[in-house]
Structure 1
Amino acid sequence: MNKSELIEKIADHAGISRVAAGTALDATLEALKEALKAGEQVTLVGFGSFLVSTREARKGRNPATGQEIMIAASRTPKFKAGKALKDAVN
Structure 2
Amino acid sequence: MMNKTDLIQQVSMDTGISKSKAGEVIESFLKGIEDALAKDEEVVILGFGSFSVVDRAPRAGRHPQTGKPMHIPATRQARFKPGKNLKELVK
Q: Cα distance, 1:37 vs. partner?
A: 1.6
Q: Match for residue 69 of structure 1?
A: 70
Flag structure 2 segments of 5+ consecutive residues without an equivalent: none
Relative to structure 2, which stretch is displaced further, 55-64 or 17-26? Answer: 55-64
Partner deviation per Cα, 1:29-48 (whole Å, 9 max, x = no partner): 11111111221110000111
TM-score, normalised by the number of residues in structure 2:
0.89
Paired with 1:59 and 1:83, the residues of 2 have a C-alpha distance of 34
Work out the number of aligned pairs and report it.
Answer: 90
- Which residue matches 1:35? 36
Counterpart of 2:21, as a letter, is: A
1:66 to 1:84, Cα distance in 2 relative to 1, 3 A? closer
Q: Percent identity?
A: 42
The one-character-per-residue Cα deviations of 1:40-69 (angstroms, maximum 9, x if unpaired) are 110000111011111001111223333322
Does the residue aligned with 1:63 lie in a helix, a strand or coil? Answer: coil
In structure 1, C-alpha distance between the alignment counterparts of 2:72 and 2:90, rounded to whole Å:
36
- Residue 87 of structure 1, CA deviation: 2.2
CA distance in 2, matches of 1:64, 1:76: 25
CA deviations over 1:6-25 (Å, ceiling 9, x no partner): 00110111111000000110
Q: Structure 1-normalised TM-score?
A: 0.90
Residue type of the partner of 1:78?
R
